[in-house]
Amino acid sequence: MRGMLSPSLMCADMLNLQSEITKLDNLGVDYIHLDFMDGKFVPNVTLDSTIIRAVKNVIKNIKRDIHIMAFEPAQYFDKMNIGKDDIVSVHYEACPNLHEVIREIRVCGANPFIAISPDTKPEVLKEYLNEIDGIVVMTVYPGFAGQPIVKGSFEKIAEVRKMIDESSLNIILEVDGHVSWDLCCKMRECGADLFVAGSSSIYQRGIELEDAVNKMTSLIN
């Protein structure tokens, strides 16, 4: 599977969101990564559900990659207008009723992904593999941009890759957190398919967005 790019909107210019979204839509990236935080599962709040809903009305060429860092994520699906083509990632650690939440994402016509935080072992996902379309390996602790990569992340990506390959299921491996210029190739070598690009790469100062997107796209393929 080719390397795909999902720029993280929370790292863009928050005072010019519509133009940031339109720039990405015109650059032909694959997804736009939309982080939602409830302030409880993680001690932070970023894009709210009305903004995530509004993004759907302005994108034509890219799809939403919605990362819900919240307890009881299903309560937000209507507010976000979850539907066809959306990736909806919910956290294993936040959902005691994960089978039910996955079913609710399917009912909306969207693609269920499970995100696991750095301290969660990949084997906990085995019972869900035939119900999901993707796994998000968090390579930082969820909640904040600009963090360093967590030790052991590459081994974890490789372990999840092995688990997916052994299942022979069509499951996308997404990596989220500190996907930097110097580490993204190693993440690719370990088996990542979809890369969340934020302040560690394409939203760094001193590089034009178009040049950054082109550079990252070539590095991950």
Q: Which chain residues interact with ligand DX5 by CB under 6 A?
A: 8, 10-11, 33, 35, 67, 140, 142-147, 176-179, 196, 198-200
Contact between 174 and Zn ion per CB under 5 A: no
Please report how close the Cβ of residue 196 comes to ligand DX5 at its closest, in angstroms: 5
Is 35 a residue of the active site?
yes
Contact between 35 and Zn ion per CB under 5 A: yes
Nearer to ligand DX5 by Cβ, of 71 and 170: the residue is: 71
List the one residue from 49, 176, 178, 190 that touches Zn ion (CB under 5 A).
176
- Cβ proximity of 184 and 216 under 8 Å: yes
H-state helical runs in the chain: 17-27, 49-58, 98-107, 153-167, 184-190, 209-219
Residues 6+ apart with CB under 8 A from 200: 146, 178, 179, 180, 181, 183
Is 176 a residue of the active site?
yes
- Partner from Zn ion, ligand DX5, none contacting 63, C-beta within 5 to 8 A by type: none
Contact between 67 and Zn ion per CB under 5 A: yes
CA distance readout (Å), 180 to 10, 38, 128, 196, 215: 16, 26, 30, 10, 11
